[in-house]
Amino acid sequence: MAFEFTDANFQEAALEGGVSVVDFWAEWCGPCRMVTPIIDELAGEYEGKATIGKVNVDNNAEVSRKYGVRSIPTILIIKDGEIVDKHVGTITKSALQEKIDTALAN
């Protein structure tokens, strides 16, 4: 199951060390619902290697605004507090895996 990032835990959970994959989404967003199973699968596959989770933009406006999220789904890959990759829109599991593996390798 994907980690739930919030305004309250984002600093500690996503920015402090290691690789984090953050999916900005909303329940009413059709493309977001297409990405959800991929995020959930990858969260299990990368457990212990990367923190993979979701930010509900309706409930967490502060972090969404801070990162300029205007379209969803938006996926940020963060390594050691810095954004190393950003993807807007739907994405295949293999394409997202490639981005995560690149972040982990560098």
Active-site residue numbers? Answer: 29, 32
Q: Residue 41 in contact with residue 91, Cβ under 8 Å?
A: no
Please provide the DSSP assignment of 4-58 as one string: EE-TTTHIIIIISSSEEEEEEE-TT-HHHHHHHHHHHHHHHHTTTTEEEEEEETT
3-state secondary structure of 81: coil
Burial of 97 (0-12, 13-18, 19+ CB in 10 A): middle
